[in-house]
Structure formats: C-alpha cells, structure tokens
Amino acid sequence: MTIEEFEKFDLDHTVCECYDVTLASLLEAVKAGHNSIEALMEELDAGSACELCQCKEIDEDGDRELHLEEILEYVKEKEA
C-alpha cells in the first residue's frame, strides 16, 4: 500500500471490527510507543480476536481494507 492510498482512509475508519478500534486510536498508540502488532494487541486488543486485521497473510479473503501491519509500515515510512 502506498502512502497516498493509506492517507485516503479517514481517521475514524474502523480497522479492528471485533473491538471497534479506529485508525486514529491505532496511530495514537503507535505514537505512544506501541510499535509492533503484539504491542497494539496488548494495548488496544486490536487484532486479538478474529485476527483478520493483523495482516494480509491472515486476511486471505481481503475482508479488511486496512491492517495493523500496514499502519506500522506507514508510520515507519513517514518517520524515515
């Protein structure tokens, strides 16, 4: 996913449907230092139920538009 594609998502986009976790919440958590999938799962429970929002490899059918892995990659690219 390109930076441009990522930035088309609204901050209120629900990334984790199981726990109703938004992109804004996830970006705040990453900014606070939770910079791995495991850390985000521990902090917000995102990705800990059905796990589809963790990454594309788990979400083989493309049920989720955005994944935790992509959010972490975006933040790393923006910081570089």
Closest CA to 26 of 70, 77, 79, 78: 70
Total domain count for the chain? 1
Q: What is the pLDDT of residues 22-55, one digit of tens each?
A: 999 999 999 999 999 999 999 999 999 999 999 9
Mean pLDDT of 3-26: 97
DSSP for residue 49: S
Residue where the block lists tokens 């790393």:
76
Neighbours of 13 (CB within 10 A): 13
- Is the pTM here over 0.85, yes or no? yes
Please determine, for residue 80, whether its predicted confidence score (pLDDT) is greater than 90: no
DSSP for residue 59: -
Which residues constitute the domain of residue 45?
Answer: 3-79
